[in-house]
Every structure is written in structure tokens, then in C-alpha cells.
Amino acid sequence: MKKIQFKSPLGILLFVILPLVIILAVSGVRLDLTKEKRYTLSDNTIKVLKSVKKPLIVDVYLEGDFPASFKQIQSETKFMLEEFRKINSNIDFKFIDPIKTKMSQDTLMAMGMQPSVLPDIKDGKVSQIMLFPYAVIKYDKKGVSIPLVVQQANINADEQLTKSIENLEYNLVSNIKNVSANKRKKIGILVNHDELNPREFHGFMELASESYDAGPVIPKNQVELTVADVPLLKQMSALVIAKPRKAFTDGEKVILDQYIMNGGKTLWMIDAVNAEMDTLMRSQKVMPFPVDINMTDFFFNYGLRINPSLVKDLKKFALLKLVTGEVSGNPQYTSLPWPYYPLGIAEHNNPITKNINPVKFEFPTSIDTLGRKNIKTNILFESSERTLLKQVPNYVDLKEIASVDSLGQREKPSTPKIYAVALEGKFTSAYGSRIERKSYPGFKAQSPENKMIVIADGDIGRNKVIKGEPLPLGVDLMTNEQFGNEQFLRNALDYLLDDSNLMDLRNRNIEERLLDRQRITEEKANWQWLNLLLPLAIIGLLGGLFFWLRKKKFG
């Protein structure tokens, strides 16, 4: 019998490839041959997983009979959790069919899950399938429900599937990090400058409290921040300043400057113009005016200037529902474009704004970036190319809806304007060469690597209040829309406090190589026959070849 040469194609197959396949199959090792490395966990993810010290269970409510798109999310989730379990044996998971186990819808909703109802067409009959595409992470008597499907408006099912898979690793590992953390980071809400009241800020406090300990920071003397408040500020990993309407004193600015120099993160929501929609709806006309909170030089030090002029976006805007008629005593409502409520739509590849609904701004102004050494400026949201600026003081009238494209008094065409920016780098103190430095013990002239977010709209974090009850952040009852304000601010906090650099996972891009559904429908029968007959034909061909060779040799 002729020997098989090692260097021959058959030899390479038998002595190299086949043993390698067997070894990989037995050991459970997997090779990621995808271009975007979609099946390879990041180093930061592995670090977080290894930090889990106690048993952690992930219950995934994606089991049962449902459409193929959800089957794909199921398989992607299962694969990722298997990889998590390989990294740390404390992590385990199970898939649950809530219908088969007869879990009530009320129980699931009480756990924070909202059902997805999908049409199911079989044999010409249309029925509905109810799904709960969520995972519940349980750790040391704590638990959190996380959605596995991205909730984003104006995208089709394929895009939603792709974005959900892109977000899967971040979604799972960030929640594992939060729920397994021994000590939660603290967020301070500054309360001393006529900021948003508790009911208006209820939605933000709820989202902040999901992952962090959030509470008010009130000056000890009830007047202004002083050195006596420094010990409390040092406990705060981040400080939130939401729509201050009272000017900061020079002493407070030194305190805030040194909070930043010592590594404190800050989230600013600033109104440079006073314009309230409630007043406009009552009187049909309002006179906005500039608001000076004495922070111009403070932000200038970081390369920013917040301008006291209203931005009108004639292309990207929210709708305003107004009474435009009456029929038999019943008011008739119409949703009309309102350019003073521009929408923030993610156009920059930034993990803070990726895969979220449009963010609603209310009477925003604009930010100029001036550039500073050692500071990197990332634009989060900006207006469209069809932008107008209204200088103030100047009247804003509801009648402007009827002539949204025309120029009003003291309005001028402008280039796109920035609503929100993120700064990162080593910040330099504005008081390094000034006498004020002597008023702060242990003064620092430069910060370590730090981050800051500045938003030129104080109302971005304000939820509506109806009959004394706060609505969820970003919900507009009049137009029945859910804007992305909540997710944007949640991502902003995670970005500021992300010491594991997990936010980079939100920038992952996965190219879905989907099948042509129309071609599948048209050629379904042909492919079914091919799959049925081709294996039989191959077996028959090999059998005939074997019979012919045997007959030739022994016949």
C-alpha cells in the first residue's frame, strides 16, 4: 500500500488540520476569524469579569418559539455568556421561557421588563407573539433587569438587530460591573443656585441612582460653597450642576476649580438665556433675556464660551402640539414644527451619543470651542446647516410657527452651532498665578487626567410634571414621543465615571452580512430540493466510485 506523504495535500489534511480541529473541539477553544473581532472580548471586559468574587447568575428571558431575528440575539447572548463563564467560574447563566414557566406579565413588568408584541404569520393566519427580551443579573441579594434590544426610533428591524448585537457586550459587562461593585461611586447634585427643583429633576435622580449613590450637595452656611464644604465635595466622584439661575461667587469658583483640579468630574447643564415655554403658552409671546451666572471666565479657561443667543434649527426640530381649531366645542390639535426645540441627532461617532433616540433641547444656546493645550474637545450634538440665531432680549412669538423659514427681527443665518461638548485631558487651574490660590489649602495648579461635559441647555435634564406627578425623563405626552434625554444623560455619567474604559465598547461596529430575504422567498423550493438531493447524489457517486474501483481491482 502506498504511504501518504506528510507534505502532500492529503497528508496536511490528516496530520495537521484534522488533529488541530479535534484539539480545538475537545478543549473548547474558539478562533475568531471575523474582520471586526466580534467574538473576542476586550481586555477591559476580561478585567471586570475577573473582579467578580461571588456567584453571579444571569437569567435570560429569551427561550421559546419566536422569530429568527430574536433567535440570533439569543445565540449571540448565549455565546457571550459562555465566554464570560470561561473567564470566571463564578458567573453562570440560564435561559428561561416565561410562557412555558407560566410567569405572569405583571411579575415580569414589576421586574422592570416591558413586553415586545410581534406579529406571527403561519399558514395565512396572523397571531401575536409576546416576548420579554431582557436579562436579569443577580448578585449578592442585588439584581438588575437590562434590555437586550436597543430601543431606538426610526430604524428598521435589521438595523435594530445590528445595533443590539453591537451593544451587547457593553450592556452586559457594564451592568455586571455596577451590580458587583463593593462600593458605589457618589454623585453630588449642587443645590444652592436656584437649580431645578426635586420634582423636575426626579427622572435624572432615578437614572443616576441605578448605578451610583446620588444626593444633594448643600453648602454648610446655606449661602455659598466655602472651604468648609471641601470634605463633602471630596467624597463625590462627580458633581452635577443643573440649570443654575443665581450667579456663582468668586469664592465658589475657586472651590469648583480645585474640585476639578483634584480629579472631580463635572456635568454642566447651563441656560445662558431665560426662556420658559410655560410663560409662552400662557401669553403667546415672551421676551427672553440673558442670564449671567458669572461663569464666563471659568469656562473660557477650558476653551469654551456659552453664547447668550437662542438657536433655531429649521431642519432638525421637535413638534409642538397646539390648538388650531374647534369642532362642536371640541378643540382640534395639530403638531407643528417648533425650531426652538431642536433635536440632537448623533452624527459624530461618540460612545455617549451612539444608538440613542434623538435628544430634545428646549431653547438652547450655543457653545464656541476655543481650543486649549492638553484638552481634547469632542462635539456631542450640534445643529443642522439650516440654523438661525436670535439675539436677546427679543420677542419669541408662537406665531413664528406659521413662518418658520422666514427671518424675524434681529435673526441672522448661521453655521451649525454646538449644543454639547465633552472635554478630557489635564486641566489647568485658572487661579494658578492669582492671589485667590492662597485661600485654598493644598492648592493644585493642574489636574490629573480628567473629564467634563458642558451642555448649553438647562432643561435637558428636566422632566415634565403633570398634576404634581413627575413624568419619565424625555417623555412628551402631547406628541406621544420618547426622546433620548434619559439615555444620553445616563451615558454621560457613565463616560465621566468610567474608570474601566468600558464606554469604548459602545463604538464597536459590526457588519451584518444578511441574506437576501426576497431571493430566499423566490428560490425557497429550489434550495430545499438541492439540500435534499445533493447529499444523496454525493453518497450515490461515492458508492458508485467505490464499487467501480473494487471491481477494477478484484474483478
**Mean pLDDT, range 326-345, rounded to an integer:** 84
Handedness of CA 79, 84, 89, 92 (dihedral sign): negative
- Residue 437 located in a structural domain: yes
Where among 478, 498, 518 does a domain terminate?
A: 498
Q: Do residue 227 and residue 243 come from a single domain?
A: yes
531 within domain boundaries = no
Give the Cα separation of 345 and 42 in Å (integer). 28
Q: Which of 165, 180, 195 is the last residue of a domain?
A: 180
Q: Which of 180, 208, 226 is the last residue of a domain?
A: 180
Confidence label for 127 from pLDDT (cuts 50, 70 and 90): low
* Cβ pair 190, 239 in contact under 8 A: yes
Q: Give the model confidence (pLDDT) of 239-254 as tens digits.
A: 999 999 999 999 999 9
Instruction: Provide the pLDDT confidence category of residue 93 given band limits of 50, 70 and 90.
Output: very high
**Per-residue pLDDT tens over the stretch 457-515:** 999 999 999 888 999 999 988 888 889 999 999 999 999 998 878 888 887 766 665 56
Establish if 505 belongs to a structural domain.
no
Triad 356, 362, 368: Cα angle to 5°: 85
pLDDT of residue 9: 61
pLDDT at 258 over 90: yes
Q: Which of residues 479 and 323 earns the better pLDDT score?
A: 479
Give the pLDDT confidence score for residue 16 in this predicted structure: 66
Per-residue pLDDT, 514: 59
Average pLDDT, the chain: 85
State the SS3 of 114-149.
Answer: CCEEEEEEECCEEEEEEECCEEEEEECCEEEEEECC
Please tell me whether residues 479 and 359 are part of one structural domain.
yes
State the amino acid at position 113 in one-letter form: M
Query: Do 176 and 230 reside in the same domain of the chain?
Result: no
Which CATH number covers residue 401? 3.40.50
Residues 438 and 306 in one domain: yes
Residue 547 domain-assigned?
no
Residue 55 has pLDDT above 90, yes or no: yes
The average pLDDT across 218-228 equals 92
Mean pLDDT of 261-282: 92
Rg (CA), the chain: 30
Higher pLDDT, 157 or 29: 157
Average pLDDT over residues 336-353: 90
Shared domain check, 240 and 136: no
Residues 234, 206 share a domain: yes
Q: Give yes or no: residues 289 and 424 share one domain.
A: yes
- The pLDDT value recorded for residue 325 is 72
Same-domain check for residues 244 and 226: yes
Residue 25 lies in a domain: no
The pLDDT value given to residue 462: 94
pLDDT of residue 1: 46
Calculate mean pLDDT across residues 31-51. 76
Q: Which domain holds residue 175?
A: 37-180
What is the domain count for the chain?
2
Most confident of 119-123, 303-307, 404-408: 303-307
Asked whether residue 103 falls in the same domain as residue 230, the answer is no
In a domain, 506, yes or no: no
| Residue 163 within a domain | yes
Q: What is the CATH number of the domain that holds 161?
A: 3.40.30.10
For the residues 258-284, what does the mean pLDDT come to? Answer: 92
- Within a domain: 525: no
Question: Do residue 174 and residue 193 come from a single domain?
Answer: no
- Residue 545's pLDDT band, with cuts at 50, 70 and 90, is confident
Query: Tell me: the pLDDT tens digits for 134-190?
Result: 999 999 888 889 988 887 776 777 777 888 888 899 999 999 998 988 889 999 999
Asked if 196 and 176 sit in the same domain, the reply is: no
Q: Are 77 and 207 within one domain?
A: no
- The DSSP result for 331-383, as a single string, is EEEEEEEEEEEEEE---S--TTTTT-PPEEPSS--EEEE---TTEEEEEEEE-
